[in-house]
Amino acid sequence: MTGLEIDAISKRYGDVVALREMTFDVRPGELFGFVGSNGAGKTTTMRIALGVLSADAGEVRYDGQPVTHETRRHIGYMPEERGLYPKMKVAEQLTYLARLHGMSAADARASTEKWTERLGVAARREDEVQKLSLGNQQRVQLAAALVHEPRILVLDEPFSGLDPVAVDVMSAVLKEKAAEGVPVVFSSHQLDLVERLCDRVGIVRSGQMVEVGTVGELRSGGAARLRVDVPEAGDGWADGVPGVRVLGRKGTVTELELGAGADDQDVLKAALATGPVREFAREQPSLADLFRSVVTTEEVPA
Ligand SMILES: Nc1ncnc2c1ncn2[C@@H]1O[C@H](COP(=O)(O)OP(=O)(O)OP(=O)(O)O)[C@@H](O)[C@H]1O
């Protein structure tokens, strides 16, 4: 079982290089977080995976085979621009979409009932989509991605605009699908959520995958930080300690980043030389810290 493989996908829009050999895989049962700044290429990748856009080069495979028209019926997709018919009633719309994906009328109705219940929009089944709040429209949009019981889930910013209760519902459903063995990939700018939820994360910059790993792997690969509370130290107390960069100072606490070859014991000596040291703590960078350092690294030339 290999899941979904995105293999060296490249795409240009005229002069704009949107993707350069984008490569990653989402294993069965895995929740994969796809992060990157605006315009990095996440939506383009997802559209190509779904087949609504063609790649200039590269291949998308599912369980080792190139994705075909038939395989695509088993993908559940939540597009960024959303895509519901505003004037159609919720249940009618979901049943219609399930039928389009090949379900029988009875199965489509049963699945519509199940997912509207599960996502907390059962009371809205007979309402037109346009009369729903944005958050409820999003729940229906998720139901639309799930109603045909897909074997792969590809979701473009499914958490944007959701209230905390809806975030919990969405998180629980995605975990449940992954636990059933479905490869789940979603893009998001909410890095705290990605950090909490995902088995693995991929960071995209300028159309390329620049970091992939578990949150733990990515965090331990980033530069370590120190938090040092030195009440009697003057500004610049850590200047001159080799390999150390001062990130900032709040009150008596200085935050520092240890570069390659830096020794935290040199920092401790410099701190003790100023007087008492109230706190000396080593911290791993958060996913958000890592993201910033990855995306602000010099852009790859076109
Ligand atoms: N239809 C299009 N025509 C021309 N350029 C496009 C088109 N769609 C996307 N692009 C460009 O391709 C690049 C990748 O865009 P894409 O929408 O895939 O990024 P994204 O990572 O999803 O961004 P966001 O986080 O803002 O949704 C950007 O430079 C974008 O301007």
Report whether pLDDT(3) > 60. yes
Task: Give the CATH H-level superfamily of domain 4-213.
Answer: P-loop containing nucleotide triphosphate hydrolases (3.40.50.300)
pLDDT in tens, 205-220: 999 999 999 988 888 7
More confident residue, 111 or 239: 111
Write down the domain spans for the chain.
4-213, 223-283
Answer yes or no: is pLDDT of 195 > 70: yes
Query: What is the band of 302 on the pLDDT scale with cuts at 50, 70, 90?
Result: very low
* pLDDT score of 128: 95
Closest C-alpha to ligand 1, atom 30: 39
For tokens 């003790």, name the residue.
Answer: 272
Architecture of domain 223-283: 2-Layer Sandwich (3.30)
Q: Is the CB of 265 under 6 A from ligand 1?
A: no
Please indicate whether residue 13, judged by its CB atom, sits closer than 6 Å to ligand 1.
yes
Phi/psi zone of residue 293: left (φ > 0), alpha (ψ -120 to 50 degrees), beta? Answer: alpha
Nearest Cα neighbor of 136 from 176, 84, 175 is 84
pLDDT at 6 over 50: yes
225-248: average pLDDT: 91
Dihedral of CA atoms 17, 65, 43, 47 in degrees, nearest 10, equals 100
206 lines ligand 1 (CB under 6 A): no
Tell me the pLDDT tens digit for each residue of 126-157: 999 999 998 899 999 999 999 999 999 999 99
Ligand 1 pocket test target in 16, 189, 209 with most atoms within 8 Å of CB: 16
Structure letter (DSSP) for residue 89 = B
pLDDT above 70 for 1: no
ipTM of the complex: 0.95
What separation in Å is there between the alpha carbon of 150 and the centre of ligand 1?
26
Helix (H) or strand (E) holding 154: strand 152-155
Give distance in angstroms: CA of 41 to centre of ligand 1: 6
Decide if pLDDT at 297 tops 80: no
Beta carbon of 39 within 6 Å of any ligand 1 atom: yes
> CA-to-CA distance for 71 and 52, rounded, in angstroms?
13
pLDDT digits (tens, 9 = 90+) for 256-291: 988 878 899 999 999 999 999 999 998 888 888 888
Whole-number pLDDT of residue 275: 94
CA 207 – ligand 1 centroid, Å: 9
Q: How far is the CA of 162 from the centre of ligand 1 (A)?
A: 23
Query: Does 16 contact ligand 1 (Cβ within 6 A)?
Result: yes
What confidence tens digit (pLDDT) does each residue in 66-118 have? Answer: 988 888 889 999 988 777 888 999 999 999 999 998 999 999 999 999 999 99
Q: Is 42 touching ligand 1 by the criterion CB < 6 Å? A: yes
Structure tokens at 234: 């003057």
> What's the CA-to-centroid distance between 2 and ligand 1, angstroms?
28
> What is the predicted pLDDT for the residue at 122?
95
DSSP at 212: E
